[in-house]
A and B are shown apart, each in its own frame.
Chain A
Amino acid sequence: MKIRCRVNGVSREVETPPMVRLLDMLRETLRLTGTKEGCGEGECGACTVLLNGQPVNSCLVPACHAEGASIVTVEGLSKRGKLSPLQEAFLHGGAQCGICTPGMLMAAQALLQENGAPKEAVIREALAGNLCRCTGYVKIVEAVREAAKVTRAAAAAKKPARKKKAAGKEKAGGKQKPAMKKAARKKPATSRGKRARRA
Chain B
Amino acid sequence: MRAALSRLRVVREPNLAMTARALEESAEGPRPLVPMAGGTDLFVYLNAGALPEQDYLDLWHLDELRGVIDTPGGVRIHALETFANLRRDPLVKRRYPALAEASSWVGARQIQNRATIAGNIANGSPAGDSLPVLLALDARIRLVRFSAPRDVGFDTFYTGYRTSVRHPSELIHSILLPWPLPGTRQYFRKVGTRLAQAISKVVIATTITVQKGRVTRARIALGSVAATVVRVPSAEDALLGEKLTPAAASEAARRLRESIHPIDDIRSTAAHRLRVAGRLVELAVADALR
Contact = CB atoms under 8 A, between A and B. Distances in A.
A128 B197 contact: yes
Contacts of A110: 109
B107 interface: yes
Nearest to B8: A19
A149 B40 CA distance: 34
A41 B45 CA distance: 8
A129 B43 contact: no
B84 interface: yes
B194 A55 contact: no
A178 B259 CA distance: 59
Contacts of A60: 38-40, 43-44, 47, 114
A119 to B, nearest CB: 16
Q: Is the interface of B mostly helix, strand, loop or mixed?
A: loop
Nearest to A55: B110
Contact of A65 (B7, B39, B196): B39
30 contacts: A17-B6, A18-B9, A18-B10, A19-B9, A19-B10, A21-B2, A21-B5, A21-B47, A42-B107, A43-B197, A54-B84, A55-B110, A55-B113, A57-B110, A57-B111, A59-B43, A60-B43, A60-B44, A61-B39, A64-B10, A64-B58, A65-B58, A67-B61, A107-B109, A128-B108, A128-B196, A129-B108, A129-B196, A130-B108, A196-B195
CB-CB nearest 7 A-B residue pairs: A129-B108, A128-B196, A19-B8, A60-B43, A17-B6, A18-B10, A128-B108
Interface of A: 1, 17-21, 24, 40-43, 45, 48, 51, 54-57, 59-62, 64-65, 67, 107, 110, 125-126, 128-130, 194-198
